[in-house]
Amino acid sequence: MPTRRLVLASAAAAALAACSKSAPGPGFHAVDITGADYARDFSLADQFGKTRSLADFKGKVVVVFFGFTQCPDVCPTTMAELAEVKRQLGADGERLQAIFISVDPERDTPEVLKAYMENFDPGFIALRPTPEQLPAVAKDYKIYYKKVEGKQPGSYSMDHSAGSYLYDPQGRLRLYSRYGSPSTDLLADIKVLLAA
């Protein structure tokens, strides 16, 4: 009989441990999308021509942002904020990987993307879907993009979603950070993900 009680006590302890693991995590500032069935991965060429996927960044918090290099405000603001967050992380900054995915592969050549990333941080990665890949990537990430003709013939801009996706060091999608959120909130969320 004592053995049966011990087994039951062990089973109860295991059940409680399982429950505590699935309990809600720390309060995030960004939208918690843990367990979402989209934005799970990518397989795209970076600015150096190397094909990248989330597995390449295991052990790091990955922040994925969609934009284009001729964007006048949202894109450079987001990338500058990510560079500042990386700086504020100190030694842990090396465990943050910013990834910029272009919605304008027509103009965002590898050379243009290399120069653009250098403006913010040489460790940042830019991915360039081909025009054929872009619709599928955008659909998988539930992002919007649209070419908007400019006033001059041949000139155009791109409307696009402006939030960022955050992945934990195990490569799991965890958060969606809306554009315009304070960078201090982003920093706090990244610290939580790094500590988990």
Helix boundaries (H) for the chain? 2-22, 74-88, 110-118, 134-140, 183-195
Tell the burial category of 191 from Cβ atoms under 10 Å away from its Cβ (0-12, 13-18, 19+): middle
Q: 196, 168 in Cβ contact below 8 A?
A: yes
pLDDT, tens only, 181-190: 999 999 999 9
**Alpha helix positions (H), 89-150:** 110-118, 134-140
| Residue 48 confidence (pLDDT) above 60 | yes
3-class state of residue 93 by DSSP: helix
Q: Indicate the SS3 state at residue 54.
A: helix
pLDDT tens, position by position, 2-28: 433 333 333 333 333 333 333 345 689
Distance CA 162, CA 144 (A): 9
For the stretch 124-168, pLDDT in tens is 999 999 999 999 999 999 999 999 998 988 889 999 999 999 999
